[in-house]
């Protein structure tokens, strides 16, 4: 999951300790701490190329999970490990704090460098992607549904 919010951009993924990459011992220790905090929950890694959003997320939790600077070969420079319940609380808080009528414009007041430009870039990418790809996909599916429906009507099935 990608999330662009007032504190920056994060990528959230389920932690899979068997994905073939050896995690540094400190990371494994924090994953175990997150797991112990709620034994029934999966652990997620909240990752970012900037430390601002992951530090903000860590600061919102009572247990103050450690924010790691990742090894240079990893795709995100910073990460924090949370159990799923903690992530759900953070995501709900972010959603509950929506206080703007235009996110892109609101980002101009952000202390996060480049957030406004990022918000506009994301908006344009999504707009262009939905403008070109989705109508064709939607039209094809609508045509297929219409064709099936027509066949059923002609044969007396529908």
Could you report the per-residue pLDDT of 67-121, keeping only the tens digit for each? 999 888 899 999 999 999 999 999 999 999 999 999 988 988 887 888 999 888 8
Q: Computed from CA positions of residues 38, 32, 67, 23, in that sequence, does the dihedral angle turn out positive or negative?
A: negative
The pLDDT confidence band at residue 29, using thresholds 50, 70 and 90, is: confident
Contact (Cβ atoms closer than 8 angstroms) between residue 65 and residue 80: yes
Residue 117: half-sphere exposure toward Cβ, Cα within 13 Å: 3
Phi-psi region of 18 (alpha: psi -120 to 50; beta: other; left: phi over 0): alpha
Q: What is the pLDDT of residue 76?
A: 94
Element (H, E) at 34: helix 25-37
Helix (H, G, I), strand (E, B) or coil at 50: coil
pTM equals 0.77
């Amino acid at each position: 999951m990608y999330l662009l919010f007032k504190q920056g951009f994060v990528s959230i993924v389920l932690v899979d300790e068997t994905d073939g990459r050896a995690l540094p011992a400190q990371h494994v220790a924090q994953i175990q701490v997150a797991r112990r905090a709620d034994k029934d929950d999966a652990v997620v890694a909240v990752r970012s190329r900037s430390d601002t959003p992951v530090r903000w997320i860590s600061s919102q939790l009572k247990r103050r999970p450690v924010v790691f600077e990742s090894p240079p070969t990893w795709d995100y420079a910073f990460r924090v490990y949370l159990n799923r319940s903690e992530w759900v609380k953070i995501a709900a808080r972010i959603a509950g704090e929506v206080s703007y009528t235009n996110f892109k414009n609101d980002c101009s007041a952000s202390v996060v460098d480049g957030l406004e430009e990022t918000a506009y870039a994301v908006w344009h990418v999504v707009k262009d992607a939905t403008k070109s790809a989705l109508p064709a996909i939607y039209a094809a599916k609508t045509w297929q549904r219409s064709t099936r429906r027509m066949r059923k009507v002609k044969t007396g099935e529908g």
